Structure formats: structure tokens, C-alpha cells
Structure 1
Amino acid sequence: MSTSIFVNIATTDLERAKAFYTGLGATINPNFTDDNAACLVWSDDVYFMVLKREFMATFTEKEIGDPTLTTTALVSLSRDSRDAVDAAVAAATTHGGRELREAQDYGFMYSRDIEDPDGNEVGFLWMDPKAAEIGPEAYMAEQAQA
């Protein structure tokens, strides 16, 4: 059995959110997209459900946070290379997002974070496959011995 990940995020402008995320490479699954929500497909197992704030409120008893004021979630998507991370951030800024901070480069891992037009934070990262396999400390120890 495989596990899929569905990340639900709120938007104040569904059309803008769809344009933003498709501009970053996600595709829209029309079977789960209507006037209240859009299913944005990143891979066979990772999806963003972008929901109008009023619609998202029907799924919880809690108040829907305002991502321009508070962090509601920290979501990161892996990419195949450092260049692909940079390309994702370039696409984000081209489509109305903004980069939140300088790139974080740890040698074995490279990440950059953006904010979408609604204020939701999304990170893009690349990790050396060897570091992912053996862990960062063991990887760094190997590199120090080389």
C-alpha cells in the first residue's frame, strides 16, 4: 500500500492560486476541482488541495489561520538538483510569489523557501542521495575523510 500526501491550504483567490502553482509545474486534476477548491498534482503521491477560505472552514471547527500573519504549515518539495531548486524559485517569483530568505546550503542539502501570493510558505530542496541514505552526520564524516 502506498501513501499519498494531500496538503490543504487556504486561498483568498482560487484562480490566482491555480495560476501560481501551475506556473511552478503542478497540474490540475479536474475531477477534484470546482469553484471552491483545486486539486494541484505534484506527483503520483503528492497533492495540494487549494481551498477557498470559506470552504476550508467547513472541514474544521478551528479558525482558519491567515498565512500572511502566522505560519500555518511548512511544506517542502524535493527537487532532483540544485538547479531545479533554483528554477522552482525563479518560477515562483515570476508567478507572483516571493523568496523569503537566502538559500540554505549545507553541502549535502540545498534549500530555498518562497511565499505564495496568499502568504503560504513552500520550500524546495535538493539532498545528495548518499546523505539521504546514510544520514547527514555520516555523510559529512565521509566527506571529511575523503
Structure 2
Amino acid sequence: MATKVFINLPVSNLDASMRFFKGLGFSFNPQFTDEKAACMVINEHIYVMLLTNTYFLTFTRKAICDASKATEVLISLDTQSRDEVKLMVSKSQALGGHIYAEPQDHGWMYQHSFSDLDGHQWEFVYMDATQMPN
């Protein structure tokens, strides 16, 4: 059974991507970070490997999707509150990210979405399962 998740994303400018995600409050594991790749820590079990496009292509035979034109992945991360969702999306926009959908408020669940500098789609979600309808 898997114990960790590593999401691999191609990026056109590794330094700019690292600045963007540091601005959102994420840290990087220096042990797995160099000029080709950066290991972004979501938590102790979830990591996002930001790989330069050239390096990413060494792991696949397929072309890299232009995430500004097509969706290849939607990454959703939970938060502790609605305010944290709003803060993360607001920060992403200030750092150069783009909002691609309006916030969704379902009462028991609140989510809002943005795309990063390469167009990868991210969603922050707050859920209160005690309020979830039957």
C-alpha cells in the first residue's frame, strides 16, 4: 500500500515556479531540489515535484500538455477554513496565478480555483463533513 504521493508537474521556469509556491507558503525539500527539479512539500505524505520541461520529458514518451489550453490534471488540497481558501486564492492571484472558476459554496463545502504560472489547475477546498447532506 502506498504511503506517500508524488505529483510530477512540468514547469517552464523552475525558479519562477518555486517563488510562486513559496509565496503561497509551501516549502521545498533541498535534498530533492536542484536546477532540474524541486520537491515541494504539501505535508509529510504529499509532495509535488516541479520538473523543468526538458527533465520531465525524460520520464515520458508523450508530449507535454500545454496546461494553459488543455487540462491535464486538477489538484485539490483541503484547508482548515473558508478564510484559508480565500487567502490562498488571493495570494495566488497576487503572485501571477489566474482564477479560472468562480468560488463554489455548497454550504458544507467551499472551494475556489486558480491556475499557476504554467496553467496547472489548483483548487483549495474547505469541507465540514458534519454539515454534509445525507
TM-score normalised by length of structure 2: 0.95
SS at 1:77 equivalent: strand
User: Counterpart of 1:41 in structure 2: which amino acid?
Assistant: V
User: Shift in Å at residue 2 of structure 1?
Assistant: 6.3
- The equivalent residue for 2:123 is 123
The residue aligned with 2:98 is: 98
* Shift of residue 37, structure 1, vs aligned partner: 0.6
State the match for 2:15 in structure 1.
Answer: 15
Output the amino acid matched with 1:140.
P
Q: Which residue is equivalent to 1:38?
A: 38
Where do 5+ consecutive residues of structure 1 fail to align?
132-138, 142-146
Q: Aligned with 1:3: secondary structure? A: coil
Q: Match of 2:53?
A: 53
Alignment of 1:64 onto 2:64 = yes
Alignment-mate amino acid for residue 127 of structure 1? M
CA shift digits 1:13-37 (9 cap, x unpaired): 0000000011111101000000001
Shift of 1:99: 1.1
Whose helix proportion is higher, 1 or 2?
1
> Is 1:80 matched with 2:80?
yes
C-alpha RMSD over aligned residues: 1.3
**Tell me, what secondary structure is at the counterpart of 2:43?**
coil
- Is 1:140 the counterpart of 2:126? The answer is no
- TM-score after normalising by structure 1: 0.87
- The aligned counterpart of 1:144 is none
2-side partners of 1:58 and 1:12: how far apart? 15
Give 1 or 2 for the bigger CA radius of gyration: 1
The answer for the alignment partner of 2:24 in structure 1 is: 24
Paired residues in the alignment total: 134
Asked whether the 8 Å contact 1:79–1:124 carries over to 2, the reply is yes
Q: Which amino acid aligns with 1:119?
A: G
What stretches of structure 1 move > 4 A for 4+ residues in a row? Answer: none
The unaligned stretches of length 5 or more in structure 2 are: none
Identity of aligned residues (%): 37
